[in-house]
Amino acid sequence: MESQTSPIRIGIIGYGNLGRGVEAAIARNPDMVLTGIYTRRDPSQLKPSHAGTPVHAMDSLLAHKGQLDVLILCGGSKDDLPRQAPELAAHFNLVDSFDTHARIPEHFANVDRAAQAGQTTALISAGWDPGMFSINRVMGEALLPDGATYTFWGKGLSQGHSDAIRRVPGVAGGVQYTVPVQAAVDKVRSGVRPELSTREKHTRECFVVLAEGADAEAVRQTIVGMPHYFDQYDTTVHFISAEELAREHGAMPHGGFVIRSGNTSDACKQVVEYRLQLDSNPEFTSSVLVAYARAVHRLRQMGQTGCKTVFDVAPGLLSPKSAAALREELL
Amino acid sequence: MESQTSPIRIGIIGYGNLGRGVEAAIARNPDMVLTGIYTRRDPSQLKPSHAGTPVHAMDSLLAHKGQLDVLILCGGSKDDLPRQAPELAAHFNLVDSFDTHARIPEHFANVDRAAQAGQTTALISAGWDPGMFSINRVMGEALLPDGATYTFWGKGLSQGHSDAIRRVPGVAGGVQYTVPVQAAVDKVRSGVRPELSTREKHTRECFVVLAEGADAEAVRQTIVGMPHYFDQYDTTVHFISAEELAREHGAMPHGGFVIRSGNTSDACKQVVEYRLQLDSNPEFTSSVLVAYARAVHRLRQMGQTGCKTVFDVAPGLLSPKSAAALREELL
C-alpha cells in the first residue's frame, strides 16, 4: 500500500458519544477529512465539538454519495445498526461497531448481501471487544494451539449494567463498574490455566442514588438478585448523593485483558497478554473505527468488496505509512 | 478462507533450537504435516525429537519440490538466512525469522526479487521481535496517533549478549539476562509518556564462570565497559561455578512489553499493552513461524506472491478455523 495522495473523506452517521469521539479522532489523523455529520435531528440544533464541522440532515446523505469515501456508523447495536448498516452498505463503504456478539453472524450476512450487491466494502464490529480483543483471541489460539484463552473486563463502567440499575424502582440514578478479580488474573498470568466460574472472574460495584422515600435495602436486594446482570456475581451497592454521582462518576473509563496461556512443550509455558487501560471507552472505540475506516478505503481501492471484520484486515492497512516505511521503522 | 481439506506439507531447513521448536509446534497443529528436516550435516547423524521425522540431505530439497507446500527456515540471521531465503524463494514458499532490524529492507528486496520471479510467497522476519511486537507497534500507532510507543525486553536471556561475554578472555562460560527497569515500566503504564534513556529502561545481569587463574575484577571491568553491548547500561556481574551455570541457567526464557500510550482528547489518556512471558524463546518463535506458514500457504493459494511481512497478513489467515467459525466463536 502507498500513502494517500488526497485525504480520505469520512461521514459520521449519528452524533452521540461515539460520533463525538470519531470527530476528535479524525482531527488527529492528517490523511483524513471529516466531510460532515449526518443526523436525524434538526441539523441546526446539533452543535459539533469543532465549530467548523458541517452538519447535514440524514435525508441528504444519498445526494452526497460522490463526496464520501467511508461512512462511520455511530448508532447503537440494538436499534440503529441492524437496520442502518445493510441499508447504507448498498451505497457506501462503511465501518460499524456492532457489539451484540450472539447476533454477529446474522448482521454479517445482512451487510454482506447489501455490500456484494452494491460493490462496496463494509467492516462490522470494530472497536475493542469485539475488535482488538477478538484479534488477540484469534492470534493467541493460532500461536498457542495447546492452551486456554481468558478475557477479563474492567475496571470499567458498563453501560448495559448501569442502564439495568437505573430501571430499578426507587433508583434516581447510578452507575456500575465491572472489576476483574485480581487473584484470578494473577492465577491466569502464572500459566496454570485455571477453570474459573463467572463469579470468580469479576465482581460488580454499583453507585446508586435513591429516589426520595425509597427503601435502600429493598433496592439493594433487587439489584443483587437481578437475573443474568447481577445474580451470578458478587455485587456491592453503595448509596451516594446525586452530587457525588455527578462529581465522581461522570467519566467512562474501561479496559481489560485478553490472556492466552499455553504450552509449546510439556516443560514450557508461554503467556501472551493484551491489556487496555482506557480513560474513555467511547473515545478509544472511535479511534479504532477511524483506523479501520482507512483500511476499508484501501480494501475498496484494491477491489475487495463485501462484508469484512477485523479478522480480514492486515495490520499494515491500518497505518497511514507506506509498507516500505513500516518495514524500515517498525518491523 | 475455508478450512484445509489436505494437510499443509512443511519442510524444516536447519535443525538447531528453532528447528526443534518447529518440529514440536507442527505436532500441535493437526492441519499440518512435517514432510522432513533438511540438513547440511550427514542426515544419518541427526536425531530428531520425534523418531518418525524423516531427515534429508539439503541436496535433495529441489527434487522434493512437488511434495512441499511451505519451507520454514531455521538458520541464523547473520550467515544463513541472507543467502538461503532468496535462493529458496525462487522455488518454494517459505517463512523465515530474519531479525537483524537494520538490514530488513535489504533482505526484503532480495527475497522479493526471487519470489516475484519464482511466483512464490515468502514471509520474512516472523517471530516475536520482529513479529508480534512489530504488529503491536504498528497498531498502537494507528489507533493512537497522538502518542508514544515503548518496547521493553525481558526478563530474558539474550543470546547476543551471552555470546559477547563468552568471548571475553578469562571467561569459561556465562549467560546474560536483560531486565526491564520496573520504575520505567510503571511510569510508561501510567500514561505520562516519559523520555527514557537506554540506561533508564533496562539493566543487564551476567552470570559468569571464570577460566582457571582468571582475574575476576579484570573480567568484570572488560564486560561492563564493552561498547554498545554493556557500556550504556547498569550491568551486574555474578561469578558462579560451572555446575551452577549448567543447573540454573540452561533454559532460554524471554519476553517483554510493547506499550502504546496516547491521548484521544486532552483529558483522556489511553494505554495499550502487549506482553509476552516466555519459558522458551526459541519454542515461541517457532510457534509463530508455524502459524505464519499456514498464512503463507493460503496467500499463495490466493495468488498473492512476492515477499511479505507480518504487516501484510490478516489475523484470520493464521487460524485453522474458517472465517465463519472465527466470527461466530471469537469475534
Q: Does pLDDT of A3 surpass 60? A: no
CB atoms within 10 A of CB A307: 26
Contact call for A143 and B288, based on CB within 8 A: yes
Cβ of A275 under 8 Å from any chain B Cβ? yes
pLDDT for the residue numbered A202: 97
Identify whether the C-beta of residue A39 lies closer than 8 Å to the C-beta of residue A11. Answer: no
Mean of all residue pLDDT scores within chain B: 96
| A264·B274 Cβ contact <8 A | no
Phi/psi zone of residue A76: left (φ > 0), alpha (ψ -120 to 50 degrees), beta?
beta
pLDDT digits (tens, 9 = 90+) for A108-149: 999 999 999 999 999 999 999 999 999 999 999 999 999 999
Cβ-nearest to A138 among B145, B268, B330 = B330
**Chain B residues 280-319 with CB within 8 Å of chain A:** 280, 283-284, 286-288, 291, 294, 309-316, 318-319
Whether the CB of B269 is below 8 Å from some CB of chain A: the reply is yes
Q: Render the burial of A272-299: b for 16+ CB within 10 Å, e for the rest.
A: bbbbbbbbbbbbbbbbbbbbbbbbbbbb
Q: How many CB pairs under 8 A join A and B?
A: 208
CB contact under 8 A, A277 and B270: yes
Task: Label the pairing between strands B55-57 and A202-210.
Answer: unpaired
Residue among B265, B273, B294 whose CB faces A275 most closely: B273
* A266 → chain B, closest CA residue: B24
Cα separations in angstroms, A70 against A112, B127, B171: 16, 34, 62
| % residues pLDDT > 90 (chain B) | 96
Angle (nearest 5°) at CA A51 between A45 and A52: 110
Q: Verify whether the Cβ–Cβ distance B264 to A283 is below 8 Å.
A: yes
Q: List Cβ neighbours of A37 (8 Å cut-off, separation of 6 or more).
A: A11, A12, A15, A19, A23, A46, A48, A53, A54, A55, A56
- Mean per-residue pLDDT, A287-295: 98
Model confidence pTM above 0.90: yes
**Do B319 and A267 make contact, defined as CB atoms within 8 angstroms?**
no
Interface residue A142 vs chain B (CB under 8 A): yes
Name the DSSP class of B62. Answer: G
pLDDT at B4 exceeding the cut of 70: no
Which run of H or of E encompasses B179? strand B171-180
pLDDT tens column, A210-227: 999 999 999 999 999 999
ipTM over 0.85: yes
Q: Which residues of A touch B267 (CB under 8 A)?
A: 279-280
Angle at B273 between CA B122 and CA A2, to 5 degrees: 40
Taken in order A280, A282, A283, A288, is the CA torsion positive or negative?
Answer: positive
530488513: which residue's cell? Answer: B104
B157 inside 8 A of chain A by CB: no
Contacts of B265 in chain A (CB under 8 A): 24, 280, 283
Q: Do residue B276 and residue A280 have CB atoms under 8 angstroms apart?
A: no
Chain A residue at shortest CA distance from B274: A274
Percent of chain A topping pLDDT 70:
99
